[in-house]
Chains A and B, each alone.
Chain A
Amino acid sequence: MSPEERFDAIVSAEEKVEPADWMPEEYRKTLIRQIAQHAHSEVIGMQPEGNWIARAPTLHRKAILMAKVQDEAGHGLYLYSAAETLGVNRDELQELLHQGRHKYSSIFNYPTLSWADIGTIGWLVDGAAITNQVMLTRCSFGPYARAMVRICKEESFHQRQGYEALIRLCSGSPDQKAMAQDALDRWWWPSLMMFGPHDTDSTHTEQSMNWKIKRVSNDDLRQQFVDMTVPQAAYLGLTIPDPDLQWNEERGHYDFGEIDWDEFWAVVKGNGPMNRDRVEHKVRAWKEGAWVREAATAHAAKKTAAAVVVGAA
C-alpha cells in the first residue's frame, strides 16, 4: 500500500489520522491553519469577555465570568497543543496572528458595550461554537478531535450561564429588558457571519469535506443554529432583528434574510470595529511579557548548569 492509499483508507474507514502518520502536505497545512485559528479565537475571545470582569454586577456573575474566560484560555492551550503535533511551534503560530496573517473568529471583532452583551455572547456565540464543535469531535485528525471532546464537555456551562443571565434581564426591569434587546440587535448578524461564507463561495469546503476535517457545510451549520436559536429568543420575549425571518413549513426550517457580505469581508480583512484593538492588545501583552519569559528561561538554564556541576563532582 502506498502512503497515500493508507491515508485514504484511514480517512474513509472513519479512523483517526495521528501525528506520526503520512499525510498530504495540503491536509497538514489546512489543519495547522484551522486549528491555530481556532486556538487564536479562544485567546482573542478572552478580551471582549474580560472587558466585563471588573464591572460584573454581582460577585456570583464575576466568578462565573472569570471561570468561563479561564476555560477559554485552557481551550486555546489544548488547541495549540494539538496544532504543535503537526510540526509547528506555538510561537510561530502566534507570530502569524500578531502579523494579521492568521485570523480568528470574526465575532470577536465586535465590542462588548453592556452587561447584556456578556449573556448574549454566552447564548449566541457559545451556542454557535457548540454547533460547530460537536461536528469537529468527528474530525479525522486525532489530536484535534480529542481536544474537541474535552472542550465540548466544558463548553455546555458556557452557553447555559449566558442564557441564564439573559433570562434574569428579560424578567427584570424595563431597563434590563431593553439592555438585552439592544445586545441581541447588535450581536445577531455577526453571529450568523461566524459560520462563514456560503459554501458556493468557499474555496476550501469541498477538500475539507473529503478529508473529513469538515463534516457539515457552512450553510447547514448556520441553518442548524438559526433553527435552534429562534425559539430560545421567543422564550426570552426578544425580537430577532431580521424582518425576513419566518418558519417555512415546506422546508421544515426557518427562512432568514441575507447577510451583509460587505461587512463580513471588511471584518475578515481586518477592518471591523475592534480588529486593530484586539491584535494590538495581544501584541502589547506579549511584548511586555518578554522580560518575564526571558527571566524564566535564564533561571532554568542556571539551575540545569548547576545540576550538571553537582553531578560531575
Chain B
Amino acid sequence: MGAEIATSGSESLVTALIAHGDDNLVLAQRLGEWISNAPELEEDIALGNIALDHLGVARALYTHAGQIEGRGRTEDDFAMRRAEREFLNVLLVEQPNGDFAHTMIRALFFDAYQVDLWEELTASDDDTLSGIAARAGKEARYHLLHSSAWTVRLGDGTEESHRRAQDAVDALWRYTDELFHGPGQVSRERWQATIEQVLEEAGLEVPDDPYQWGGGRRGLHSEHLGSLLAEMQWMQRSYPGLQW
C-alpha cells in the first residue's frame, strides 16, 4: 500500500500539508540526535533550537491537515500511527546525520528550498496555511543563515573540513532534484542560484552527478526511514491508545 499525490482540491491540500509536515518531522528527529553530541555547547543549543522550529512547523501542518481532512486525525496520528509507506517526506531529510559537514550541507540544501517554499505559501488562499508559512519562512531564513555560514566556514576552513564538506555535497546532491517535484511550485533555478553562491564562497564544487534519486513523495523511501520511525513510534506502538 503506497501513497499517491492526490489531485483534487482539498485532498491535494491535505496531501501537501502532510508531505511538508513529514519533511519537517523527519528532519527534527534527525537534528534531535545531535543533542549532547555537537562540537561545542553553543552549537548544541543552536541545533536544538532549529530542531524545535522544524518540530513546531510539523505539528502545525499536521493539525491543520487533520482539521481539513475531517476524519479526526491528530498530530500524533500522523506522526506515530502511519507506516513507512505512508510517509511523504523527501529522501534528503531522512538521510543519516553523518558528520557535522554532512548535517550542515543537508541543512543548506533543505533550508534554501524551505525559504522559497514558505514564501510561495504565504500567498495561499488558505489563511491557516499562509499563517504557518509566514512564521516558518522567518525561521527558515534564520536556518539558512546558520547552514550557509557553516558551509562557508567548513568549505573554507581547513583541508580536512574542506574535504568533508565536499564529500557531503557530492553525496547529497542526488537527493536535491526531488525537492522540485511534488507539492509546491518552488523553482529549481532560484534554489540553484542560492546554492551556487554559497558553494562558491565556500570554495566547494557543484557536483557533475547527473544521477538523481527520489520516490519519497510516493512513499518509496531509503532504508533509513524505517529505523527512524521504529524508534520514534516505539512508545505508541507498545502502549496503544493511552494518554501521555
Contacts and interface: CB of A to CB of B under 8 A. Distances in A.
Interface of A: 43, 46-47, 50, 53-63, 66-67, 69-70, 73-74, 76-77, 80, 115, 165, 168-169, 172-173, 175-176, 281-282, 285-286, 288-296, 298-299, 302
8 contacts: A46-B36, A58-B76, A70-B44, A168-B244, A169-B244, A176-B242, A289-B43, A295-B153
A62 B55 contact: yes
Nearest to A281: B36
Given A46-B36, A73-B44, A176-B242, A59 B164 contact: no
Contact of A63 (B40, B55, B232): B55
Nearest to A46: B36
Contacts of B38: 285, 289
Q: Which of B25, B37, B75, B79 has the most CB of A within 10 A?
A: B37
A293 B39 contact: yes
B52 A172 contact: no
Q: Which of B40, B79, B154, B157 has the most CB of A within 10 A?
A: B157
Contacts of B58: 59
B59 A173 contact: no
- Nearest first, the 10 A-B pairs at minimum CB distance are A289-B39, A295-B157, A295-B161, A57-B235, A292-B39, A57-B244, A70-B48, A46-B36, A299-B153, A299-B157
B124 to A, nearest CB: 23
Q: Which of B35, B45, B55, B234 has the most CB of A within 10 A?
A: B35
Contact of B239 (A165, A175, A299): A175
Interface string B136-177: 000000000000000011101110110010000000000000
B67 to A, nearest CB: 16
Contacts of A292: 39-40, 43, 100, 154, 161
Nearest to A61: B244
B76 to A, nearest CB: 5
B244 A165 contact: yes
Contacts of A58: 76, 80, 236, 244
A199 B38 CA distance: 38
Interface of B: 25, 29, 32-33, 35-45, 48-49, 51-52, 55-56, 58-59, 62, 75-76, 79-80, 99-100, 152-154, 156-158, 160-161, 164, 231-232, 234-236, 239, 242-244
B41 A73 contact: yes
A260 to B, nearest CB: 29
Q: Which of A56, A63, A175, A299 has the most CB of B within 10 A?
A: A299
Nearest to A119: B244
A66 B156 contact: no
A69 B35 contact: yes
A282 B36 CA distance: 8
Given A50-B36, A54-B29, A63-B59, 4 more contacts: A289-B100, A292-B100, A296-B153, A296-B157
Contacts of B243: 168, 172
A55 B36 CA distance: 16
A172 B232 CA distance: 21
Contacts of B33: 54
B202 to A, nearest CB: 10
Contacts of A302: 156
A47 B44 CA distance: 12
Contacts of A169: 244
A47 B161 contact: no
A5 to B, nearest CB: 39
A297 to B, nearest CB: 8
Contacts of B62: 59
Contacts of B239: 57, 173, 175-176
A289 B38 CA distance: 7
A168 B243 CA distance: 7
Nearest to B154: A295
Nearest to A74: B45
Contacts of B35: 46, 50, 53, 66, 69-70, 73
A77 B45 contact: yes
Q: Which of B41, B59, B100 has the most CB of A within 10 A?
A: B41
B231 A54 contact: yes
Contact of A55 (B42, B75, B234): B234
Nearest to B100: A292
Given A292-B161, A296-B153, A59 B75 contact: yes
